[in-house]
Amino acid sequence: MAQPENLLYSKEHEWVKIEGDMATIGITDYAQNSLGDIVYVELPRVGKAIDQFGNIGVVESVKAVSDLFTPVGGEVLEINAALEADPAAVNRDPYGAGWLFKVKLKDSAEKSNLLSATDYEKIAHD
């Protein structure tokens, strides 16, 4: 699957869609494929302040627990509650129904620490 061009990416395989001061975050197709069947997602509480690249949760596959890092800092506005009953949505639709959480951005300059789709493509092929 090609990386959507309208998103930014972290080296830890998260994507972020920025609209104004709102950011929606998920993990990339490469990440979900590497993890395998996802059975549990642990996300930060709504209202929590989080820092860019901070370890803010976990994504668990049948075999393993993986740390989840946030590509941007700010305040958690919403989490994808549907994932509690259906964590496999992250496998099926990582850029759509499998989104993880939304953040009110603290500092839009943090964008410059992220990768474009083209640059992310280079690290998502090993």
From the CB of residue 4, how many other CB atoms can be counted at a distance below 10 Å? Answer: 14
Closest CB 73 distance from another protein, rounded Å: 21
In the set 1, 39, 49, 123, which binds another protein (CB under 8 A)? 39
* Residue with the two structure tokens 């642990």: 42
Select 52 or 61, whichever has its Cβ closest to another protein: 61
Q: Does 82 bind another protein (CB under 8 A)?
A: no
Calpha distance 124→107 (Å, rounded): 27
In the set 1, 6, 21, 36, which binds another protein (CB under 8 A)? 36
Half-sphere exposure of residue 61: CA atoms within 13 angstroms, side-chain side:
12
Q: Stretches 6-14, 24-32, 53-61, 98-106: which one binds another protein (CB under 8 A)?
A: 53-61
Q: Does 60 bind another protein (CB under 8 A)?
A: yes
DSSP H or E run through 50: strand 49-50
Select 92 or 113, whichever has its Cβ closest to another protein: 92
- Dmax (CA) for the chain in angstroms is 38
Q: Does 63 bind another protein (CB under 8 A)?
A: yes
In the set 6, 40, 51, 118, which binds another protein (CB under 8 A)? 40
Calpha distance 110→52 (Å, rounded): 8
**Nearest by Cα to 13 from 1, 25, 35, 30:** 30
Give contact residues for another protein (rule: CB under 8 A): 36-37, 39-40, 42, 58, 60-63, 65, 84
